[in-house]
Amino acid sequence: MIGLTDAEKVAVRRHCGYPAYGATAAGFSSWRFYQVYGLLEYRMNNLVDEEQEVVRNYLKMLMKLEASIPEAADNLDTSQAAIWRHNDSEVSDRSRLYDNWRLRLCGFLGLPAGPALSTGTISWVV
């Protein structure tokens, strides 16, 4: 295999909760000054073929789960129609499921969740 594409890397960063890569390092607020971001880039650039396939499978699942959240929101205006009854916690259930799979991807890559996927706990990178 040729490695993860740029689009796949963007998806991995986003699903793992890390900010956009950007074009160049600019200023001291760049993510490149933080070790965990560099570890993420290293891992994405050095996966063996089998690991790339696992990441691609995660990305397929994550894209489906992420898309299901706004689709579930389409029913928020209807509590009940005939025998069908809306699951009041469907959006939050789907969001939790999506976040769970995001954390699994982080775990597979050996990374703590990024700032946009904070679990509220302290984690250490070893």
CA 72 – CA 87 distance, rounded (Å): 10
For position 36, what pLDDT does the model report?
84
Inform me whether the pLDDT recorded for 29 exceeds 90.
no
Query: Domain extents for the chain?
Result: 6-117
| Burial grade of 52 (CB within 10 A; 0-12, 13-18, 19 or more) | middle
Residues present in the chain in total = 126
For residue 108, give the nearest of 65, 27, 52 by alpha carbon.
Answer: 52
How many other β-carbons are positioned within 10 Å of the β-carbon of residue 71? 11
pLDDT digits (tens, 9 = 90+) for 35-87: 888 899 999 999 999 999 999 999 999 999 999 888 876 666 666 555 656 56
Give mean pLDDT, residues 27-40: 68
Per DSSP, helices labelled H in the chain are 6-15, 35-45, 49-73, 90-109
CA distance 86 to 77: 9
